[in-house]
Amino acid sequence: MTDPDLTGSELTGGLNGWSTTASPEAGVEEIVLLDGPLGIVSKTMDERDTSLIMPSGTALGATWNPGLVSDVGQLLGQQGLERGVNVVLGPNLNLPRTPLSGRAFEMFSEDPFLTGVLGSAWVQGVQSQGLGSCTKHVVANDTETERRRMNSCVEPVVLRETYLRPFETAVRTANPWMLMLAYNRVNGTHCSQHAGLISILKNDWQYDGVVVSDWFGVDDTAATANAGLDLEMPGPARFLGSRFAAAVTAGDVPGGRLRDAVERITRLADRTGRRTGGTAPEPARLRSPEEQRELLRTAATESFVLLENRDNILPLDPARIRTLAVVGPNAAKPCFQGGTFATVRPEGELVTPLDAIREAMGPDVEVLHEAGTVPSSALPLSELGSTAPDGTPGVLLEILAPAGEDAVLYSEVRKASSFVWFGPVPGLGAGVPGRARITTRLKLDSAAHWSLGTGGTGTSSLWVDGKQVLEVPPPAPDDVMGVVARAETQRITLELPAGEVEVVVEMAFEPGRVQAITAVAVPERATNPLKDAVRLAARADAVIVVVGDEQGSSRESADRTTAGLDPDCDRLVEAVAAVNAETVVVVNASRAVLLPWADRVKALLMAWFPGQEFGHGLASVLTGHTAPSGRLPVSFPERNEDIPGWGTGLDADLDLDYAASEPMGYRHFEASGRTARYPFGYGLGYTGFRLVDAVAASAGLRAGDAAAGVGGVSVHVTLRNTGESAGRDVVQVYGKAVGETGYRLMGFSAVDVAAGERAEARIAVDPHGFRRWDQTKSRWLIPSGEWELRVARNAAGEGILCRITL
What's the CATH number where 411 sits?
Answer: 2.60.120.260
CATH of the domain at 795: 2.60.40.10
pLDDT in tens, 702-735: 887 776 556 689 999 999 999 999 999 999 999 9
pLDDT for 422 beyond 90: no
SS3 of 76-130: the string is HHHHHHHCCCCEEECCECCCCCCCCCCCHHHCCCCCHHHHHHHHHHHHHHHHCCC
Residue-wise pLDDT for 253-275, tens only, equals: 999 999 999 999 999 999 999 99
Cβ within 8 Å of residue 405, ≥6 positions away: none
Q: Which of the listed residues 625, 645, 672 is the one where a domain comes to its end?
A: 672
Full-model pTM: 0.95
Give me the domain span that covers residue 326.
289-376+527-672
| 356/396 Cα distance (integer angstroms) | 34
397 and 357, same structural domain?
no
pLDDT band at 160 (very low <50, low <70, confident <90, very high): very high
Confidence class of residue 445 from pLDDT cuts 50, 70 and 90? Answer: confident
Give a yes or no: residue 567 inside a domain: yes
Cα–Cα dist 453/493, whole Å = 9
Residues 329 and 370 in one domain: yes
CB contact at 8 A, 765 and 747 = yes
Q: Name the CA radius of gyration of the chain, rounded.
A: 27
pLDDT for 763 equals: 97
Residue 790 contacts by C-beta under 8 Å, 6 or more apart in sequence? 733, 734, 735, 743, 799, 800, 801, 802
Q: Classify residue 228 as left (phi > 0), alpha (psi -120 to 50) or beta.
A: left
* Residues 544 and 653 both lie in one domain: yes
- State whether residue 330 is helix, strand or coil: helix
Amino acid at 151: N
Whether 505 has a pLDDT exceeding 90, the answer reads yes
Torsion angle of alpha carbons 261, 266, 270, 276, nearest 10°? Answer: 170
Q: Which of 131, 155, 147, 145 is nearest to 181 (CA)?
A: 147
**Within a domain: 106:** no
- DSSP bridge pairs for 516: 420
Quickly state the pLDDT bin for 361 (edges 50, 70, 90): very high
Residue 33 lies in a domain: no
* pLDDT value for 480: 64
Going by pLDDT thresholds of 50, 70 and 90, the confidence category of residue 155 is very high
- What share of the chain has pLDDT > 70, as a percent? 97
pLDDT per residue as tens digits for the range 270-306: 999 999 888 888 999 999 999 999 999 999 999 999 9
Q: What are the φ/ψ torsions at residue 331 (nearest 5 degrees)? A: -70, -45
Q: Number of folded domains in the chain? A: 3
Residue 742's pLDDT is: 93
Q: How confident is the model at residue 479 (pLDDT cuts 50, 70, 90)?
A: low
- Angle formed by the axes of helices 66-82 and 112-127, nearest 10°: 40
In a domain, 393, yes or no: yes
Residue 32 DSSP label: B
Dihedral angle at the C-alpha atoms of 750, 753, 756, 760, nearest 10 degrees? -80
Q: Is the pLDDT of residue 385 over 90?
A: no
Residue 97 banded pLDDT, cuts 50, 70, 90: very high
The span from the CA of 529 to the CA of 545, in Å, is 14
CA dist., res. 325 & res. 332, Å (int): 13
C-alpha dihedral over 169, 171, 173, 176, to 10 degrees? 130
Q: What would the pLDDT profile of 642-680 be if each residue is shown by its tens digit?
A: 999 888 889 999 999 999 888 999 999 999 999 999 999
Q: Name the nearest CA neighbour of 114 among 804, 611, 631.
A: 631
* Cis peptide, bond prior to residue 663, ω within 30 of zero: yes
Under the banding of pLDDT at 50, 70 and 90, the label for residue 482 is: low
CA-closest candidate to residue 221, choices 256, 201, 245, 186: 245
Same domain for 449 and 398?
Answer: yes
Question: Of 501, 522, 543, which marks where a domain is finished?
Answer: 522
Alpha carbons within 13 angstroms on the beta-carbon side of residue 478 total 18
Mean local confidence (pLDDT), 466-472: 94
User: 298 and 384, same structural domain?
Assistant: no
Q: What is the mean pLDDT of the chain?
A: 93
Helix ranges restricted to H, 501-634: 529-538, 567-579, 614-622
Q: Is residue 667 part of a domain?
A: yes
Could you tell me whether strands 395-400 and 408-414 are parallel, antiparallel, or unpaired per DSSP bridges? antiparallel
pLDDT band, very low/low/confident/very high, at 507 (cuts 50, 70, 90): very high
Query: In this structure, are residues 635 and 99 in contact, taking their beta carbons and an 8 Å threshold?
Result: no
CB contact at 8 A, 746 and 113: yes
* pLDDT greater than 90 at residue 609: yes
The answer to whether position 8 is within a domain reads no
Last residue of a domain, one of 522, 553, 570: 522
Same domain, 435 and 507: yes
In terms of domains, do 325 and 431 share one? no
Give the angle 176-217-460 at the CA atoms, nearest 5°: 125
| Direct distance between the N- and C-terminal alpha carbons of the chain, in angstroms, rounded to an integer | 57
* pLDDT recorded at residue 499: 92
DSSP reduced 3-state for 171:
helix
Residue at 718 is within a domain: yes
640 inside domain? yes
| Cα dist from 267 to 30, 178, 180, 457, 534, whole Å | 13, 11, 16, 37, 61
Share of the chain above pLDDT 90, in %: 79
CA–CA separation, 337 vs 590, rounded Å?
Answer: 9
Same domain, 547 and 468: no
Are 387 and 517 in a shared domain?
yes
Tell me, what CATH number does 299's domain have? 3.40.50.1700
Say yes or no: 636 and 707 in one domain: no
Taking the C-alpha atoms of residue 457 and residue 716, their distance in angstroms, rounded to an integer, is 59
**DSSP state for residue 594 in the 8-state scheme:** -
- 597 and 731 in one domain? no
Q: How far is Cα 569 from Cα 530, in angstroms, rounded to an integer?
A: 10
Same domain, residue pair 531 and 667? yes
Average pLDDT over residues 482-502: 83
* Torsion over CA: 175, 177, 181, 182 (sign): negative
Residues 6+ apart with CB under 8 A from 217: 148, 181, 182, 183, 190, 191, 192
